Every structure is written in structure tokens, then in C-alpha cells.
Amino acid sequence: MDTNEALLLLAHVIEPNDERMQFFIEEVGPIEAIEAIRRGLIPKRESEGLQARLRAFSFTTAVRELDRCSTRLVFRDSPEWPSQLNDLGHERPFVLWVVGTPDVRLAAVRSLSIVGARDCSPYGRFVARDWSARLSDRGWVVISGGALGIDGAAHQGVLSVGGVTVCVLACGVDVSYPRAHESLLANIADTGLLISESPPGSPAMRQRFLSRNRIIAALSRGTVVVEAGSRSGTTSTANFVNRLNRPLFAVPGAVTSPASIGCHQLINEGKAILATQWQDVAAMLGDQQLTSNLESVQSRPTDVLTPIQKKVLDAVPLRRGKPAEVLMLTTGLSLREVLIALGVLEVEGFIRQEDHLWRLVRA
């Protein structure tokens, strides 16, 4: 058994959040750690459960799963391995299961992550979608976790402009979680990347969500938190970003919004940089061609819009404009409501009409 085979086996046996075992493996080496598990010689740890997983593992089955899921393995010594993951030390993944064409290492070179609350506000969803689209237009690869809310909006924003987005999963790459994002995950796989440190077939579990957050933090050059509660998985991502000394940005929201409490705490405690427009984020991460005083859609106040107007605005794409009839189907509103809202949004400068197709105004 070589080192990569041992790491593949360990990825089937050890949970990502098992820090004690990760430290032990880093200390003695993958091959020696497997022998220690077999013999029940793990310090300060019962080995029965791990031994059962060890006996259940089959290299033949693992290889067959790769073909079934159209998946490839990226090992630590692979040219495709993103070296920034090594900043995690003993907490770095054993191996990555990857679906998608882009090279993982190259995709991570000019990347940032956009994360936030599942139960987000229309404002938060708009900022995540709009900023992701605009940053993707600038050549940035956007990384997120595929969850409902801010994560999904970030991925959708990139896809709307034909960019590359990376989804780091808390389950196997063949598991559609959440179920509502089955189509979104398929679209990401078509042009971007699905990544997991858990084997195919692994279900989503709470601890796996917390563990995958460290990968999101380590893969990207910086992280933007759009909305977050006072205690949430998003704040755990922020903590990993701080530990790695990477830039962390937080988007402010209404002081009355529970979804923005976490962002305001990060800013007040000096853990995150206040971000009020996407240009600030790109410039801070090295995009020198941008100036921070450019007017942009997302910096315009949307709080004055009615719920109907916000709903229509959220449905308008940045590229490849849509007719009012399609927006009616997307929003579930009547055609009259859509047309009235479009008129207001055009006057306010949020959108424009070209050949009866509506799209967002670029910065």
C-alpha cells in the first residue's frame, strides 16, 4: 500500500472533524496510522468503530464509484492539489473527490468565497447574486457551499454570467443536498467544480458542514460574509479565515435585521473589513484596475423598494436579458405587477430594456 492508497482508505474511515485522529495521522504517517487502527493501538481513543469501517472498505468499490459518479481523485501530491489547503496543517483533507472540468489548483489562484445565512433576506440574496456575477465578470472564481440562501445566490450569480463557480459539499459529490438545489448543483458541475472530502454516497451531516467550512476558507484568497446570525455555520467559516490570516469582509445590513447580527459583530470586533461594494473586495484582493468610487447597482439603496419590486429585481439577470413574460413566470406575479415594477426599477437606474429584454445595469 502506498501513501495515496492509505490516504484514500483513511478518507473512508476517519470523519473530517476528528481532529485527534488527524493530528495522530500527521504525526505517525498514513500507512502507520492504518496499522495502528487495525491493531487497536490508537492513543486515547476507542478503535472498534474505525476498525469496522476499515474492514468494510474496498479499493475495487472505491474505484468503481469514481466511474459511476464521473469523479476524479485529487491527492496531496497531485499537480492539481491547491497548495493553500496545506495551510490547514494536520486538518487538511486526505484527498478530494472532484466533479467538473476546470483544474482545481488553477481555479483557486484567483478565487474568493461568498458565504452567508440560509434564512437570508431579499437584500442579502440580491447582494450575493449581484456581487458574484460582477466579480465573476472580472475573472474571479467564486467559491461557496451550495446551501440554501446566500450560498445558492452566489452560485446562481456566477452561472448567470457564464463564469466558473466552485461548490464545496458537506456530503458526497453524488448526493444532491439540499434537494432543492439538485438542478443548481448539476449546472455547477457542467461549467465549474463540485468538491468533497467525503466519499461518494456520504450523507450530509451537521459536523461535516462545519468541517467543510475550513476548506472553503482555505481554498479562497479572501471571504465575503453577506449575512449571518450571531451563532451560525457562517461564523465558523469566518473563524477559519481569521486563523489562516486571509482577508475577511462583512456586508452591513439593517440594524433591525437578525440576519445581519453576525456581520455587524465581525465588523465591530475588528475581525472583518466593512464591505459596501464589490469593487472594494476585488481591489483589496489585488484587482488594481478597480477604483472604489465607481457607482454600482448593489450600492444603491434597495430598502425603499416595495416587496414586489425587490422580487422582480432579484429575477432580472445581469446578462442575457429576459422578457417580462418570463419574469412573470419566474416571480409568480401577474404581468401587470411585473410591468409596473420594471418601470420603477428602470427609472431608478437598476435595470434597462434592450429589444424588449430586461437586464441589470452594469457598474
pLDDT in tens, 202-250: 999 888 988 999 999 999 999 999 999 887 778 888 999 999 999 999 9
Tens digits of residue pLDDT in 253-274: 999 899 899 999 999 999 999 9
Q: In the prediction, which pLDDT does 235 show?
A: 81
Calpha distance 6→29 (Å, rounded): 9
Could you tell me the CA-to-CA distances from 210 to 171, 232, 238 in Å, in that order?
A: 12, 9, 11
DSSP one-letter string for 127-195: HHHHHHHHHHHTTPEEEE---TTHHHHHHHHHHHTT--EEEE-SS-TT--SSGGGHHHHHHHHHHSEEE
Q: In the prediction, which pLDDT does 291 show?
A: 45
Q: What percent of the chain has pLDDT over 90?
A: 71
Calpha distance 185→189 (Å, rounded): 6
Least confident range of 117-131, 178-192, 344-358? 344-358
Distance of CA 351 to the CA centre of its chain: 27
Amino acid (one-letter) located at 290: L
- DSSP letter, residue 221: S
The domain limits of the chain are 1-57, 104-297, 300-360
Long-range contacts of 35-43 (CB under 8 A, 24+ apart): 37/13
Q: What are phi and psi of 105, to 5 degrees?
A: -65, -45
Give which of 204, 211, 261 is closest to 237, Cα–Cα: 211
Fold of 300-360: Arc Repressor Mutant, subunit A (1.10.10)
Q: How would residue 303 be classed by pLDDT, with cut points 50, 70 and 90?
A: low
Q: In the prediction, which pLDDT does 295 show?
A: 41
Q: In the prediction, which pLDDT does 299 show?
A: 45
Enter the C-alpha cell of residue 345: 426599477
pLDDT at 147 over 70: yes
Give which of 330, 319, 349 is closest to 134, Cα–Cα: 319
1-13 b/e with 16+ CB inside 10 Å = b? eeebebbbbbbbb
Enter the CATH code of domain 104-297. Answer: 3.40.50.450
Calpha distance 154→333 (Å, rounded): 24
Q: What is the mean pLDDT of the chain?
A: 90
Tens digits of residue pLDDT in 30-78: 999 999 999 988 876 777 889 999 999 999 999 999 999 999 999 999 9
Calpha distance 141→168 (Å, rounded): 13
Enter the C-alpha cell of residue 280: 472594494
**Angle at the Cα of 21 from the Cα atoms of 146 and 234, rounded to 5 degrees:** 25
- DSSP letter, residue 207: H
